[in-house]
Amino acid sequence: MSTALPIDLRSDTVTRPTPAMRKAMYEAEVGDDVLGEDPTVNTLEREAAERLGKEAALLVPSGTFGNQLALFTHCPRGSEVVLSDDSHIVQHEAGASAIIAGVQLRVFSPAAGVPSWEEIRPRIRRDNDIHVPPTSLVALENALSNGQVMGLPEVQKIAAGAHACGVSVHVDGARIFNAAASLGLEVSSLAAPADSVMFCLSKGLCAPVGSMLTGRREFVELARRKRKIMGGGMRQAGVLAAAGLVALRRMTLRLAEDHEKARQLGEAFARTGLFEVSPIPVRINMLFVRFRGPHAGKESRFVEELARRGVWCYPPSDGWVRFVTHHDVPADRLPATCRIVGEAAAAAVA
């Protein structure tokens, strides 16, 4: 059993606020944000909008809140949202789309792991047939929950196609800064084709709480009203926004370090010769593995062997084990982590 602090690779949501964030939170100037009087929230909303290249932005409590608020704002009740079946909105938001926006989710399984316009186009329904729910939104993810990244040309193609059909596009960009870093693009370029983009301050960017919903001014003002309906109007939220500003200004600049750690971890898995690794190449701070051939099905045992050695990850899902690197996984502990991967794999298949 390891006595060192665990290496927590469950998610980048486990990151803790940095000392600079805690200081900024302590010193934050605050006011009543529901009255529009919190200067720190106002600064965060302005800087987030500028960074994403959008007219306006709104601070919301979580990524789930931001996505569901986007649907609630874009979509008439009873309309349909087209999106990938493994997207966070479908899999991990507790069915909120049916409860809050009252929409139907029309899902598809992207053949290449990344949605294409060819897959979305036939699912858009805008005719006058009274039997048919009209499509109101296409929802994309970038980066995707499967560790993939959508390139700018595909996002542009989907947005242009959807817009030509009179359908808006929302991007769940919980990790859009990771996607932009992976593609070597400014985040504003990647966000440009979408009508709204949600991004999280609280994952790889280390803020304790908070996500931003960005878009056109009129959209964000409507979302502000709907945020109140959802109980998301926060008062002296500048304490949180202060950490968010550190996240936005500084922590967005270092994500390539986390991607490099994930790449090295991917190589460690590949070196064992026992695992299938996805995606190849590793694109962001997230990778998935499963045993190949005769050892398939031993993933739970592998996760237990890792935990015994102080490396944490979530139990397998659909046979795949996910690993997420982040700020709080020190680079100097990576060699030991890679060694433990080999030992735990050998123990699991013994």
Ligand X SMILES: Cc1ncc(COP(=O)(O)O)c(C=O)c1O
CA distance 272 to 341: 9
Q: Which residues bind ligand X (CB under 6 A)?
A: 13, 62-64, 67, 88, 141, 145, 172, 174, 200, 202, 211
If the CB atoms of residues 138 and 344 are measured against ligand X, the closer one turns out to be 138
The nearest distance, CB 210 to ligand X, in angstroms, is 8
**Helix count and strand count (H, E) for the chain:** 14, 12
| β-bridge pairing 211-215 and 80-84 | unpaired
CA distance 172 to 69: 11
If the CB atoms of residues 211 and 252 are measured against ligand X, the closer one turns out to be 211
Q: Tokens for 26? A: 């302590």
If the CB atoms of residues 162 and 209 are measured against ligand X, the closer one turns out to be 209
If the CB atoms of residues 177 and 291 are measured against ligand X, the closer one turns out to be 177
The nearest distance, CB 141 to ligand X, in angstroms, is 5
Which residue in the shown chain puts its C-beta closest to ligand X?
A: 63
If the CB atoms of residues 301 and 327 are measured against ligand X, the closer one turns out to be 327
The nearest distance, CB 1 to ligand X, in angstroms, is 29
- Are the C-beta atoms of residues 67 and 226 closer than 8 Å to each other? no
Structure-derived torsion over alpha carbons of residues 246, 250, 255, 256, reported in degrees to the nearest 10? -170
| β-bridge pairing 80-84 and 104-108 | parallel
If the CB atoms of residues 59 and 348 are measured against ligand X, the closer one turns out to be 59
The nearest distance, CB 13 to ligand X, in angstroms, is 6
SS3 325: coil
Residue 132 CA, chain-centre distance (Å), reads 31
Q: Tokens for 81? A: 């949202």
